[in-house]
Structures are given as structure tokens and as C-alpha cells.
Structure 1
Amino acid sequence: MPELSLDQWAAVRVAYETSALPLRDIAAEHGVSHVAVAKRADRQGWLRPGEAPPLPDGAAEEKLVARLYRTFEKQVAELELRFANGEGGVEEKDARTLSVLARTLETLGKLREGTDDAADAAPLDIEALRARLQARLEQLDAAGDAAVAPAGGVAAGGDRCVPA
């Protein structure tokens, strides 16, 4: 059988992960052996509908958490460098990325500790969070090159400053 292109493999993956068709039928429909599909699915971690991803063991979990921390640190460092170079304010996508990373780290920490999210949830003081974010942005923008808006306001250039 001929080797499939990346686009053809993408179509195989979509069929594998979204349909209940037997593996042999998916393979025949795309002109590839069912063994090749099974091997690629296993190697790349494809999941059939209704399958749950495997839970990481302790070592794999630690590596994942370490990677998340490094990613978070990298994002923060890039923002600080952008401010230090006077390249402008925080973009909404940056704020969203940092927010998702922070929530993921928090969730992983709670899972590791075995705490209940609802029982440990402290009331969030959004105004205090905005004030801390504003103070940090002002520190980063000490040169005054990038306009920083008040909490919830609009910065120069029309970018909305939205805390995560």
C-alpha cells in the first residue's frame, strides 16, 4: 500500500477519533492497512470516541508540571522583555494564555494535594487582582513608552487591558 500524505493521515485521525467505525473499515476507506492505523494511533496517542486518556504516573506528572511552569515563566519573561523594550502593552491573547496556564497549574496542584476545589475556593477579590496587575504593568512600563490603561480600560492603540 502507498504511504499516505500528512493531510491523508489527518483525515484518518479524524475518522478514528470521531466515528465508531471499526478500525478495518477506517483503514480500508483511506487505503491503508489497519495495522498502520493502529500503530500510528498508539504512537501519537489518538483516542476513540468515549476513551479517556491514560493518567500519568508520578514521574510523568512531575515532568508535565515542570513543563507547565517553564511555559508560564517563558510567557511572563516575554511580556517583561516586550515592556522593557517599549514594544507596547499586553495583548488579550497573552492575558488569556497566562490565565489558562495559571488555572491549569492551580488545578494540578489541588489534584496532587487531593483537595476539593469547592471546599477550598476562597472568594476572589477581582478589584485587588486588577490593582496588583495594574501596579505590575506600571512597574514594567516605568519609561512611559507604552500606555497602560486603568483597570478594565482601554490602552493606547485600542487594546483592551483585561485581567485574566
Structure 2
Amino acid sequence: MTTQTKKITYCALMMALTFVMTTLIKIPIPNGYIHLGDGAVLLSAFILGPWGGLIAAAFGSAGADYFGGFGAYVLPTFIAKGTMAFIFGYCIQRFPQKNKLFFLFPAITMMVAIYYVSEIIMYGSVTGPLLDIPFNCLQGVVGVAALIVLSKPLERFRLEPLKISAKQ
């Protein structure tokens, strides 16, 4: 199996895993639900790197919102989860010697900020979406817990980033 075929296959599997983990267990909150899907979003970035993680996380999460009846959130979710995966994947690829957990904070912060701005646009209010910030942070924490549980057993599937040299 070539590296490209392996990346495409893993990307499709992570997209499906993100979809399933988002839709499998839903704990209702005032404006949505808490789920394990962010663990799969972060795991996608961990296994696939920034670009593959972005694709798997964005399409898997947005698909879960679409088929779960949250059609208004498809685009914000696509952007938020894709950006979250890209930031985490980029940071762990760029700084491999650092602790991976250190890079979760900027990824989750960006996800929360994107949802906040999206809800300002959707609802036309700056104060109303403030109520969702703690729930979005909680969603990120649940995702981190799922990542910690899943990353060790699935670490052997991690793809090495492609090295581009001048001799190729």
C-alpha cells in the first residue's frame, strides 16, 4: 500500500469515526449537545497531520450536524472543527519534541472563538452567544479526555509527515 493510499484510507476512516463518535452519545445542553466527537477530531490531527486531520474532522463533524438535525451549524462546525484539527496537527508536527497536550489549548480556544463569532452572525447578538462559551469549553475538555483514552492504543497507526527534500 502506498503512502498516498494509506493517507486517503485513514482519512476516510477518521471521517467516519468522527461522525460516529459525534452522533453515538449525545448529552443535551441548551444550544446543542456534548459528544465524544472532539476526541476523534483531535485524534484525526494526531494520526493524519494538519491537512488530513482538517479534512477528516471538518467533513465528519459537519456531516454529523447535518444528519443530526443541526443544519444551521454545518458551516460553523466545518470551519471550527477543521481549524481545531489543523492547529493541533500543525503544532505537533512542527514541534514534535514538545508535549502534545500543550497544543490542545490553542486548538480548543480557536474552536470556541469560531463558534462564538458564528453565533453572533447567526443570532445578531453579541451577548446571547456568551452563554454557549462554557458549554463549548466543556465540549473541548470532553474531547481531550477522549483523545487521552484513544491516542495510546491508536498511536501505531500514526502516519509520519511527508519529508520533502531537494534531492527528490
Q: What is the TM-score of this pair, normalised by structure 1?
A: 0.33
Of the two structures, which has the highest relative contact order with CA contacts closer than 8 Å and spacing of 6 or more? 2
Q: What is the TM-score of this pair, normalised by structure 2?
A: 0.32
Tell which structure's C-alpha radius of gyration is larger.
Answer: 1
